[in-house]
Every structure is written in C-alpha cells, then in structure tokens.
Amino acid sequence: MQQLARGEQKVYKRKKINFSVGQLISYLVLFAWSLSTIYAMFWIVNNSFKVSRDVMNSSFKIAFDPVMVNYTNAFDRINIGKGYLNSLIMSGGTVLLVLLFGGLAAYVLSRFNFRGRKALFSILYASLLIPAFATVVPVYELLIKTQLVNTYFGLMFPQTAGNLTFAILVLAGYMSTIPKELEEAAFIDGCNRFTLFTKILLPISRPAFASAAIFVFLWSYNDLFSALIFVNKEAVRPIVLLLSEISSQYGTDFGLMATAVSLTVVPVLIVYLFISKYIEKGLTEGAVKG
Amino acid sequence: MMKGDRKYIVMFLLPAAAFMSVFLYYPFFKSLFLSFFRTKGFTTKTYVGLDNYVRMFSDNLLGAATLHTLELMFYVIVFQVGIALILAVLVDNITWGKGFFRTVFFFPVVISGTAIALLFVLFYNYQFGLLNTILQNLGFSKVNWLSESTALKAVAIPTVWHYVGFYFVLFLTAMTKIPSDFYEAAKLEGITGVKKTFLLTIPLIMSDIKVVITLAITGTLKVFEFIYVLTRGQNGTEVLGTYMYKKAMVDLNYGYGSTIAIYIVVFGVLLSLLANRLLKRDEITY
C-alpha cells in the first residue's frame, strides 16, 4: 500500500517536472520573439540620439550623451512636423468619413428589412477582393480632372471608399446583435429613425466604432501606395511618403534615418499601449468576420 | 418596417454608396475597360482588343514578378502563419504573462511597413549595417544582403515579421474559444502536451487557419512598401504590386498597367479558391 502511494507520488512528481521544463522552453521562445520587437525598437531610438558616424561604427553602444542634431535636422531639413500634420489631417478625416457614412449604412443593413439587402451584402463581400492596384489609374485620372490631386481630399476620398467595406461589415455585424426591443421601445417613445440611430445605436455600438476607427486610421496612416500617387507634393505629403523618400535622398545619413523611424514609431507605440486592448478586441469581434 | 422607412433607407445608404461607386466600383470597371486599350497618358487611347493580354503572357518580367510573389507567399504561409501558430500554442499554454506577449507581439502590426522597411535598410546596409557589424565583430566577412541571390529572402524577413502578431492574435482568440471540457476529456484520456496540440487544438481551429491562410495569400499580393523602400524591385525582388506600379505610374502605360491590375485580381481570386478547396474541412461548432 505504501509502495503504491509512493509510486503514485513519483509519477505525479515527474509530470510536474516535465510540465515546468515545457513551460521554461515556452517562455524562452516567447521572450526571444519579444526581444526581436523590443530590441529593434530600442536600437532605433538609441541610435537616433547619435551622430551618423557613431551609428555606423558603434550602433550597439548606448547613447549616454545624446545629441539632438538628428531631431533638429528632421524638423528643419525634411520638415517632418508638416508630414505629421498632413498625416493626421488626412487619416483623421478618412476615419470620420468612414465612421459617419459606414455607420449609417451599417445601421440600414443590420436593422432594416428590405428587398435587395442580401444582394448589397454580396456586393460588399465582393468588393473586399478589389485591391488598390485595380482602381488606382482611373482614380488618379478622376482626381486630376476634378483638381483634387495633391489636396487633402485627394487621399481622403479614395481611402474612404477603400475602407468603407471593412467598416460597414464590422459595424453591421455588431449592430445586428443589439436586441430589437430596445428600438421598438424608443420608437414608441417618439424617436424617429434618425434619433434612434444617434441616441440608441451609436452609443451602444461604441466599441465597434472604436475598433473600426483604429484599424481605418492605421491602414490610412500606413498606406504608402496611395500616398505615392495621389498626394506626393511637399505641401500635402504624409509621413509615410517622407519616410520612403529619406532612404533615397538621405541614404547615407544613418542618424537622420534612425530619427525619422523613431519619430514615426514612438508616438504610435505610446498610443498603442493605451488602446491595445481595444485593438485586439476589435480584431476578434469584427475583422475575422469581415 | 416602420412608416417612412424607405426614405431613411435611401438617405442612409446614399453617402456610402456614392463614395464606393465613384472611388471603388467605377474605377474597377474602368480599369477592366482600360485593359483593352493602348494608351498615351490620359488623352489618347486606341482599342486593341486582347493585345495587352497577349503581351502579358509573353512578358518575362511579369512572369518573374509572379514567381517572386509566389516565393514570397510561400515564406509568408510557412513562416508567418507557422510562427504565429507556434507562438499562439505556446502562449495558450503558459500561465502568466499572456497579456504582455499579446501586446508585444502585436505591436509591429501597428507600425507602418515603410518604417519597418527603413529600419531594415539600416540592418542590411553593406558598409555599416547592423548585420555586417555583427559579422565583422565575430570575425566573418561582410555579406551583401541585398544581392541577386539573397535579396528576395532579405525582403521576406521584414514582410514576415510585420504581420506575425496579427495572425497570432487571431489564432490565440480561436484557441481561447475552445471549451475547457474538451481539454478535460483529453486529459482523462492521457492526451497532453504536444499530442494535445496536434490532436485537439489544431484540428479544432482549422477553420481559423483556413481564414488566416486566405488572408496571407491576399495580403502577399498587396506587398509593396518593403520592396519599394528596400530594393525598388532590383536584384530579383520585383513583385506584382511593384511591377504594376512601375508600368502604370512610372512608365505611364495606363492600359498595360490596368491589364496587370486585372491579372492581380484574377490571380488572387484563383489562389484563394484553390486554398479553400485544398483546406476543405467540415466546420466545427461548439
């Protein structure tokens, strides 16, 4: 009897050891992959505080006496501040347009019963298959004709159209889960369809709107292809375009390149740390279904 | 239906429909239309029937771009999806630090591809780049990372790294949706560890793996920034996106550029259908 008990204990013990060795290896692998992100970010920010010669010769050393010359260069010579402003205006504008029009369309598609509703959904799903490559030439022609090329609207309008599909599918998916009784009660209380939307649907769907907004902003902010074609003049060019030009124009100024990358990445990192919860939530609620 | 609903349906759908018609559907069909023309700028165009499509099939550069895209797609499916799956399995099995890893792994997704590409410009630089500095410190000779033989692989690394976190989160979410009694039953049968992963977890999230592979395929067809910034399509890295850009926006050959764009769409649809056929499985509902 005693022996049996001891035997059992042994098995239990061995299992536990296996378990923790597995855990240990898991953590090693996971930390190694995290390091690829964390160290890369540290390396780039660290080097942004060095003159180019030091970036080239000793990129691993920590910049104990940081120099700001790259930062003054970034703002004075390549006018990165203006690039930021342009990006914020255009991507912010795109998000507003997408949420407003996408929200209204999603409301109709999820809460109204009418003929052709299914067909509209099919058209939406089909438009997910249209990449920017397949629209760029005619859109460019259209923007030239309407003199919108190299204006803020020249990027906002095409990007709005490109992101509406995703936003409508995410928002409609969320809105269709809201119980109908809520609307009926409000309707009896004298709300019309428009006040129903602003007073009931909009507040309840806030999480979906938040995650759609985040993704639309990111895609717009990071979209080099459209920016390269529709808004490439200095007065309107967004930050991604500036970044791509740095490598060809200042390809030897390593310090400046490190600074430009840092200046684009660090604000995103800070915002990200605050909203990462919403991003992942949004991804799991909407993006997959979309 | 409530009274006057028709008015609201039209009113609410109109703005979105207008934007999408003008900047998405109309341009798409216009591209299709343009692919049958020989163009000179936007002013003159002559109908040439299927000439552009005939040219496409004898265009060696397009063939090369297609092969490069497929090679990149292979790396993306094997490594991006593979690493994401491994990381998700590992994170699903650990007890603490889940939130930390989720946040860190997802972070590259929110950075622009252009910024990541620029970071890798600094890594790959022949004379002073990070990689060659390491090699020299270890006593090896420098490597030209962006040469003909390695450039496509060098470009594939940031491409893969960028989106691993995206698929990781999708996989992890799918895994947390698996009811715990499945695992408890498996435990009673003595199925644990690696066996559990292969016999239980992966089959149960097969439909998500299918979605992810489809996303990876269509995503690879859109790859543009990494190649544009790192190599400009030189040294055997031209992909469909950069080649279309070159033909349409650099050579200003709108007709042929549109033909390539249509080719990209058709190629993408065919590949997605193929992937869905190959990965056909019964949907599992809990």
Instruction: Please report whether residue B7 resides in a domain.
Output: no
pLDDT, mean of residues A189-201: 81
Rounded alpha-carbon distances, angstroms, from residue A118 to A110, A197, A228, B148: 11, 21, 37, 50
Residues of B in contact with A264 (CB under 8 A): 111-112, 115
The reply to whether residue B112 touches residue A158, judged by beta carbons under 8 angstroms, is no
Residue A3, min C-alpha distance to chain B (Å): 23
Read out DSSP for A22-56? HHHHHHHHHHHHHHHHHHHHHHHHHHHTS-HHHHH
**Confidence bin at A139 (pLDDT 50/70/90):** very high
H or E stretch covering A157? helix A152-175
Amino acid making up residue A164? L
List, for residues A53-110, the tens digit of each pLDDT value.
777 777 777 777 788 888 888 888 888 889 989 999 999 999 999 999 999 999 999 8
Contacts 24+ apart (CB under 8 A), B177-182: B177/B286, B178/B204, B178/B205, B178/B286, B179/B286
Percentage of the residues of chain B whose pLDDT score is greater than 70: 97
DSSP state of A134: G
Lowest mean pLDDT among A78-92, A124-138, A260-274, B192-206: B192-206
Instruction: Please report whether residue B222 resides in a domain.
Output: yes
Token pair belonging to A284: 């799991």
List, for residues B84-96, the tens digit of each pLDDT value.
999 999 998 887 8
List, for residues B11-35, the tens digit of each pLDDT value.
889 999 999 999 999 999 999 999 9
**A1 pLDDT more than 70:** no
> Where do the structural domains in chain A lie, given as residue ranges?
2-57, 79-249
Q: What are phi and psi of B38, to 5 degrees?
A: -95, 130
B158 CB within 8 Å of a chain A CB:
no
Rounded alpha-carbon distances, angstroms, from residue A194 to A107, A178, B2: 10, 17, 13
Which is more confidently placed, A190 or A272?
A272
Q: How far separated are the first and last CA of chain A, in Å rounded?
A: 61
Percentage of the residues of chain B whose pLDDT score is greater than 90: 34
List, for residues B124-155, the tens digit of each pLDDT value.
888 778 888 888 888 888 888 888 888 899 99
Is-contact A241 A86, C-beta < 8 A?
no
Find the CATH number of the domain harbouring B98: 1.10.3720.10
pLDDT, mean of residues B212-236: 89
**Confidence bin at B286 (pLDDT 50/70/90):** low
Substitution target from B111, B220, B263, B283 for chain A, most A beta carbons within 10 A: B111
Token pair belonging to A68: 């700001």
User: CA-to-CA distance for B108 and A269, rounded, in angstroms?
Assistant: 9
Provide the mean pLDDT of chain A: 83
**A40 pLDDT more than 90:** no
Instruction: Please report whether residue B164 resides in a domain.
Output: yes
Is-contact A61 A54, C-beta < 8 A?
yes
Q: Given this model, what pLDDT does residue B1 score?
A: 52
Q: Given this model, what pLDDT does residue B246 score?
A: 92
| A162: nearest CA partner in chain B | B24
Substitution target from A133, A188, A259, A289 for chain B, most B beta carbons within 10 A: A133
User: CA-to-CA distance for A2 and B134, rounded, in angstroms?
Assistant: 60
Task: Please report, to the nearest 10 degrees, the dihedral formed by the alpha carbons of residues A45, A48, A54, A58 taken in order.
Answer: 10
**A153 pLDDT more than 90:** yes
Residue B191 sits in which domain range? 58-278
Separation of CA B208 from chain center: 16
From the list B25, B222, B228, the residue facing A244 with the nearest CB is: B228
Instruction: Please report whether residue B6 resides in a domain.
Output: no
Q: Given this model, what pLDDT does residue A189 score?
A: 79
| CATH of the domain spanning A79-249, picked from 3.90.1170.40, 1.10.3720.10, 3.20.20.70, 3.40.50.970 | 1.10.3720.10
Is-contact A102 A161, C-beta < 8 A?
no
User: CA-to-CA distance for B255 and B33, rounded, in angstroms?
Assistant: 9
**B2 pLDDT more than 80:** no
State the greatest distance between any 2 C-alpha atoms of chain B, in Å, as a whole number: 81
**B36 pLDDT more than 80:** yes
The reply to whether residue B269 touches residue A257, judged by beta carbons under 8 angstroms, is no
B170 CB within 8 Å of a chain A CB:
yes
**A9 pLDDT more than 60:** no
| Distinct helix (H) and strand (E) counts, chain B | 16, 2
Q: Given this model, what pLDDT does residue B177 score?
A: 82
Is-contact A87 A217, C-beta < 8 A?
no
Instruction: Please report whether residue B284 resides in a domain.
Output: no
Residue closest to A234 by CA, chosen among A26, A98, A129, A83: A83
The reply to whether residue B268 touches residue A131, judged by beta carbons under 8 angstroms, is yes
DSSP bridge partners of B47: B37
Instruction: Please report whether residue B96 resides in a domain.
Output: yes
Residue B4 three-state SS = coil
Residues of B in contact with A22 (CB under 8 A): 93, 193
Q: Given this model, what pLDDT does residue A4 score?
A: 46
From the number of C-beta atoms within 10 Å of its C-beta (0-12, 13-18, 19+), residue B181 rates as exposed
User: CA-to-CA distance for B65 and B82, rounded, in angstroms?
Assistant: 24
User: CA-to-CA distance for B132 and B124, rounded, in angstroms?
Assistant: 7
Read out DSSP for B231-257? TTTTTTT--HHHHHHIIIIIS--HHHH
Token pair belonging to B165: 């976190």
Q: How many domains does chain B have?
A: 1
Q: What are phi and psi of B186, to 5 degrees?
A: -65, -40
From the list B31, B114, B128, the residue facing A243 with the nearest CB is: B114
Read out DSSP for A84-118? HHHHHHHHHHHHHHHHHHHHHHHHHHHH---TTHH
Q: Given this model, what pLDDT does residue B129 score?
A: 80
Q: Given this model, what pLDDT does residue A283 score?
A: 64
Instruction: Please report whether residue B22 resides in a domain.
Output: no
Instruction: Please report whether residue B36 resides in a domain.
Output: no
| B192: nearest CA partner in chain A | A19
Q: Given this model, what pLDDT does residue A158 score?
A: 94
List, for residues B38-56, the tens digit of each pLDDT value.
888 787 888 888 888 988 8
List, for residues B178-214, the tens digit of each pLDDT value.
888 888 888 888 777 778 888 888 888 888 888 889 8
User: CA-to-CA distance for B251 and A180, rounded, in angstroms?
Assistant: 55
- Predicted-complex ipTM score: 0.86
pLDDT, mean of residues A210-231: 90
From the list B19, B86, B265, the residue facing A161 with the nearest CB is: B19
**Residue A92: CB atoms within 10 Å:** 15
**Residue B8: CB atoms within 10 Å:** 19
pLDDT, mean of residues B243-257: 91
